[in-house]
Amino acid sequence: MRTRMLSFLAVGALASGIAWAMPAAVEASQGEAAAACEAREAFEGTLPWTFRGVTYPSQRYFVENFKCGAHKYKFAKQTQEEKDIAAGKRPGGGGGATITGGTVNVYFHVIRDGAGGGDVPDSRIADQIAVMNAAYTSTGWKFVLAAVDRTDNDAWYTLGPNTPEERAAKVALRQGSAGDLNLYAAKIGGGLLGWSTFPSSYAVDPYDDGVVVLNASLPGGGAAPYNLGDTAVHEIGHWMGLYHTFQGGCSKTNDVIGDTPAEKSAAFGCPYGRDTCRMAGEDPIFNFMDYTDDSCMVEFTAGQDSRMDLQYELYRLGR
């Protein structure tokens, strides 16, 4: 799961090839903020859920904190299935995915405070779906709005990851099956932009499956420079099976994607020419799975596309 800093992976610049200059003062302030956060640990979902007397297994996911940008993720020992997937094979030694994209139904859940505050109008929901489709167009994946519901609940309005409030909201609101995306928008607490489950977690706990984003990160929201809609794009990347581009740092395996150059740590703003590892290629700052501003995010790689196809087929279609 991924939790992003208030750099909400929003709609990032959807037009590739556009150069974005960032003032030196902004660059410096972001660098200082990142340094101050080095010792701070973001929330890590390792505790089991307990809901209505039933205990559910723990989930592994990212939590991104916009005040800090810190991330923490513990890998369990890699299974042979995960090794096969990383190598672009099916578990057991087979080939890659037989699908190349598809259509995903989206159930959009707007959680408001008890008095109806914090609503997200249909126009902004439509804009968010449009941003998602623009971002994923090169991958062959398309998102179709299946339904929208609005719930007034003070406790759920500021829900956090792995909390009783999140559990209650998801159990009450979730719709569809493994291949459908449940997207929750609320004024989430803890200074978070959003989080997501991985496809491999669905079978363990179907109710937990989905993406949660800060309502202000949707297009037109107040979370600039993360208010273009790319927080949802980024979190859906996790929902489709992708790690951060900086996962694993300057290691040979890093994010298990062969065509995303390794980077030592998350990038912020839009630092052109950043190159933090000795391996070939500058840091993938334009990638939707980094931590740069929405206006800087414009692409997924072919390798990421292939992994999303395989992960979706294995865990969401059960093939």
Residues forming the active site: 235
First to last CA, the chain: 23
Which one, of 231, 221, 218, 246, lies nearest residue 293 by Cα?
A: 231
How many Cα neighbours within 13 Å face the side chain of 196? 26
Which one, of 111, 140, 110, lies nearest residue 125 by Cα?
A: 110
Q: Is 38 within 8 Å of 52 (Cβ atoms)?
A: no
Cα–Cα–Cα angle for 270, 275, 281, nearest 5°? 105
Dist CA 231 CA 291 (whole Å): 10
How many Cα neighbours within 13 Å face the side chain of 254? 24
Dist CA 95 CA 105 (whole Å): 27
What's the order of all strands across the beta sheet hosting 141-152?
63-65, 192-196, 211-214, 181-186, 102-112, 141-152
Q: Report CA torsion sign: 282, 287, 293, 296.
A: positive
DSSP state of 138: G
Taking residue 47's Cβ as centre, other Cβ atoms within 10 Å add up to: 10
Three-state secondary structure call for residue 179: coil
